[in-house]
């Protein structure tokens, strides 16, 4: 385990999607898929041993960010956080994702790290994970049998575990059009930091009334989760101070955080409702 010397591994550099699929079909869970590498290489420097790395960096056509007002947003596996943070359409229409990409990591890591990679990493602290869960959408997986889509709601199955099978890889994350007003907020120790708490919301508003809400919160469970009780409270209501107070209490009651080096279970529980309330207020602003 050394921050200067990587362990030995076999590198596979497919030149096309079919080639990548072939490699994964062959090596399955002996292989790790690498997009930007900013997560994987750090894990390997901390001792993770991986016999094969399948790098997507030379597969053409995976770095797209395509927005269509009718079809929605499609983000390719190699599209970086910097590309998303520089995109005015995303800032306007998917503010939660824009914000999460703009604050995650550092400018240098954002030039390499990917949205899809953040989702695949499946850390409950993942900033793009919180945004994705609030915005909804699907992860598109490619295997030998072709493409399949998994709803983001079913994508994280356990701590750092996704619905991806070892013989497939994620090619895209897509979100429908007109998802509503969204926002992302987080709490950290220093400004540049892994989140100790993060939240994202997406509100389907009809005038002043909230027809439906997706409220996502991270760092309080083994995966990013939705606050379903709190979402019910908002349904069909105007977002008043008293409604927000109810949401705050519901979230506080729903979360089950733990102590870790970044924060405490007590603190996360105390402020989770407040963070959610403020994220909703931000979306409405």
Partner 1 sequence: MKTRSITIYVNGEAYSLNVAVNRTLLQVLREDLGMPDTKYGCGTGECGACTVLIDGKKSILACLSLAVLMDGAKITTVAGLETEGKLHPVQEAFVNEGAIQCGYCTPGMVMKSVSILAKYPKPTEEDIRRELEGNICRCTGYVKIVQAIQKAGDALASTC
Partner 2 sequence: MSEFSVIGKRLPKVDAQEKVVGRSVFAADLDLPGMLYGKIVRCLKYAHAKVTKLDLSEAAKVPGVVKVLAPGDVSSKEYNTGVLDLLVPMGDLADQYLFTGWVKHQGDAIAGIIAKTEEAAERAAEKVIVEYEPLPVYLTAEESMKPDAIQFHPEKPGNRACTLPDQMPNNAYGWGDVDEAFKNADIIVEDTFYVPKVKQCQMEPHAYVALYDDRGRLNCWTSTQMPKLVQAKLSRFFNLPMNQVKINQTTVGGGFGSRLGMVAEPETCAMAMAVRGRPVKVQYLREEDWIASESRHPGKYWMKMGFKNDGTPVACDAKFISYKGGYYTHGSGVVFTTGSWLIGMYKFGACRYKGETYYTNQAPSGAYRGYGNPQTNWAMEQMVDRACAKLGIDPVEWRLKWHKAVGDDSSILGMPYKSCGLDACLNEGAETFGWKEKRQRYANQLGAKRRGIGVAVMNHCSNASPFLLEHTACTIKMNQDATAEVISNCSDLGTGGHTALQQIAAESLGLRMEDVHMKVQDSDAAGFDIGAHASRTVHMGGWAIIEAAEKVKATILERAAKHFEINVEDLVINDKKIHPKGSPDLFIEMKTICDQGISNFVDFSTGKTIGVPGQIVEHSSHFAAHNAPPFAATFVEVEVDTETGELKLIEAVTAHDIGRAIHPPSVEGQLEGGFQQGAGMAMMEETYYDKNGLCLNSNFTDYKMLGPSDMPKVKIILVEEPDPVSPYGAKSCGESGLVTPTGAVANAVFNAIGVQISEGPITPEKILMAIKEKDGAF
Q: Using CB under 8 A as the criterion, which residues of the chain lie in contact with partner 2 when the complex forms?
A: 2-5, 187, 189-194, 261-264, 266-267, 270-271, 274-275
Distance from C-alpha of 207 to C-alpha of 203, rounded to nearest angstrom: 11
Cα–Cα distance for residue pair 91/71, rounded to 1 Å: 17
Q: Binds 281, which of partner 1, partner 2, none (CB < 5 to 8 A, cut-off by type)? A: none
Q: Which of the ranges 5-13, 219-227, 241-249, 273-281 carries the binding residues for partner 1, by CB under 8 A? A: 5-13
> Which partner, partner 2, partner 1, none, binds residue 154 by CB below 5 to 8 Å per kind?
none
- Select the binding partner of residue 134 from partner 1, partner 2, none (C-beta < 5 to 8 A, by kind): none
Do 105 and 132 meet the contact criterion of CB atoms below 8 Å apart? no
CB-nearer residue toward partner 1: 14 or 136: 14
For partner 2, the closer CB: 24 or 250 = 250
199, 218 in Cβ contact below 8 A? yes
97 with 115: CB under 8 angstroms?
A: yes
Rounded CA gap, 33 and 170, in Å?
9
The site partner of 11 among partner 1, partner 2, none (C-beta below 5 to 8 Å per kind) is partner 1
What does residue 70 show for φ and ψ, rounded to 5 degrees?
-100, -40
What are the φ and ψ backbone dihedral angles of 259, each rounded to 5 degrees? Answer: -80, 140
Per CB under 8 A, contacts with partner 1 among 88-117 are 105-109, 111-112
List interacting residues with partner 1 (CB under 8 A): 2-13, 37-38, 41-42, 45-46, 55, 57-58, 105-109, 111-112, 191-192
């Amino acid at each position: 385990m050394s921050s200067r010397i990587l362990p030995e591994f076999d590198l596979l550099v497919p030149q096309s999607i079919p080639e990548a699929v072939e490699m994964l079909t062959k090596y399955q869970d002996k292989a790790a898929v690498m997009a930007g590498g900013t997560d994987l290489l750090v894990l390997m420097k901390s001792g993770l041993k991986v016999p094969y790395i399948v790098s997507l960096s030379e597969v053409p056509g995976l770095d797209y960010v395509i927005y269509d007002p009718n079809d929605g947003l499609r983000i390719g596996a190699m599209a970086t956080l910097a590309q998303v943070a520089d995109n005015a359409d995303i800032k306007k229409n998917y503010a939660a994702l824009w914000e999460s990409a703009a604050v995650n990591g550092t400018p240098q890591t954002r030039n390499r790290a990917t949205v899809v990679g953040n989702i695949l990493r499946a850390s409950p602290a993942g900033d793009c994970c919180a945004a994705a869960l609030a915005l909804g959408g699907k992860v598109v997986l490619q295997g030998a049998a072709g493409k399949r889509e998994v709803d983001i709601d079913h994508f994280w199955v356990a701590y750092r575990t996704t619905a991806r099978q070892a013989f497939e890889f994620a090619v895209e994350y897509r979100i429908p059009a007109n998802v509503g007003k969204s926002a992302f907020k987080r709490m950290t120790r220093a400004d540049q930091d892994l989140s100790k708490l993060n939240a994202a919301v997406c509100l389907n508003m009809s005038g002043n009334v909230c027809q439906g809400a997706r409220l996502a919160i991270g760092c309080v469970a083994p995966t990013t989760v939705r606050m379903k009780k709190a979402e019910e409270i908002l349904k069909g209501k105007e977002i008043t101070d008293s409604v927000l107070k109810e949401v705050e209490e519901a979230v506080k009651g729903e979360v089950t955080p733990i102590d870790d080096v970044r924060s405490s279970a007590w603190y996360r529980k105390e402020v989770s409702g407040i963070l959610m309330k403020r994220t909703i207020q931000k979306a409405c602003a």
